[in-house]
A and B are shown apart, each in its own frame.
Chain A
Amino acid sequence: MTSWLLLAEAGVPEGGLFDLDATLPLMAVQVVLLTFILNSLFFRPVGRAVEDRESFISTSRAEAKQKLAQVERLEADLREQLKDARQQSQKLILEAEQEMDRLYREALALATAEANASREQARREIDAQRDQAMTQLNIDADKLGDLIVSRLLATP
């Protein structure tokens, strides 16, 4: 046993580098079996896991996208509603202010008119009473004058 090169070249009946025998077909059968075993134990389950995850991710993404679109739609909707409500309230406030103003003016006018009326009436009453008093006074003065005259005339 000097060198492996000799073994390789000489084609010794026992052994050698290129010693082909039943190892070859048996190894082939072994590898084919290994292929089937690995297919059922490794490639198929792992492939299923990976593809399940991929499909899960893509459906989740689609769902999320859909939800996002929905949210955006709702947000726009709500924004619109909010704007409407704000305008509505603005209008209501303006209306209420106008209404209040009107009511105030009306009440003021009414009160002024009433006050004028009662003042007028009071003046008329005062005037009437004064006239009455003047008339009475004139009558009394006339009476007194007549009395004085009669008395003066009667004395002699």
Chain B
Amino acid sequence: MPLTLPLAELEVGKHLYWQLGNLKIHGQVFLSSWVVIGALLALVVVGTRKLERDPRGTQNLLEFVWDYIRDLSREQIGEKAYRDWMPFIGTLFLFIFVSNWGGALVPWKLIHLPSGELGAPTADINTTIALALLVSLAYFYAGLSRKGLRYFEYYVEPTPIMLPFKIVEDFTKPLSLSFRLFGNILADELVVAVLAFLVPLIVPLPAMFLGLFTSAIQALIFATLAAYYIGEAVHEEHH
């Protein structure tokens, strides 16, 4: 190629491939996700080591997070079923939130990989599709386990005309969930990377702050929508 733009250094779409039998996986995604999971678990283990009635230190933070997640899931899923789904919603929120912020705050560039580069695990389409499919499975399971086959009444309510739309929704829900998260996080990382590459001083800072804001909002949106879908599935029509 005659034209070598500095942008090529960003190495988007390059992956560190690991071979697992005859399966290929993206090593950099797993590496950064392990860092994220490790950080989460470390925080949780440190914070819950000695739970007291008068909370102190990390317990305060954890209780705040717990309360936040409880309010979120209770509001979306409803009083009756939220307890079963709170851990799932909470894990989605925490994992995405820590991934996004980890991608923005941890100086991954200092670690050189043979191929590809480390970043937020949520900037990889595999991760977001995995999360979105889990949400789909979760709301199907929630509806079927709570209402049995009556769950499918939901597809013809309020009128059978809704049937095709509701079926299409089952496909658009995971699609929009995964692409929204993936697109936002990837775009944020690219904007910051490009700006930092062009003007490595001060100029990328507003974009970085905006990125932190977007990252937090995306985690909230994903968790809220997941909870909303589950809530929709377990919702009892009052006849």
Q: Within the complex, which residue of B8, B14, B25, B44 is in contact with A21, where a contact is CB–CB below 8 Å?
A: B25
Any B CB within 8 A of the CB of A104 = no
Binds A, one of B60-68, B106-114, B157-165: B60-68
CB-nearest residue of chain B to A42: B44
Chain B 56-100 interface mask (CB, 8 Å, partner A; 1/0): 000100110011011000000000000000111011101100000
Chain A 28-61 interface mask (CB, 8 Å, partner B; 1/0): 1011101111110111111111101100100000
Contact sample, A vs B, 7 pairs, CB 8 Å cutoff? A4-B7, A15-B14, A24-B129, A42-B62, A49-B52, A50-B63, A52-B53
Query: Nearest Cβ in chain A — how far from B215, in angstroms?
Result: 18
Do A47 and B8 form a contact, CB below 8 Å, given A27-B33, A34-B37, A35-B87?
no
Binds A, one of B119-127, B196-204, B216-224, B229-237: B119-127
Which B residues lie within 8 Å of A56 (CB)?
53
Chain B, interface size category, equals: 35 or more
Which A residues lie within 8 Å of B8 (CB)?
1-4
Q: Within the complex, which residue of B15, B51, B94 is in contact with A46, where a contact is CB–CB below 8 Å?
A: B51
Question: In the complex the two chains form, is A38's CB within 8 Å of B7's CB?
Answer: no
Query: Nearest Cβ in chain A — how far from B12, in angstroms?
Result: 3
Binds A, one of B130-138, B145-153, B206-214: B130-138
Question: In the complex the two chains form, is A38's CB within 8 Å of B44's CB?
Answer: yes
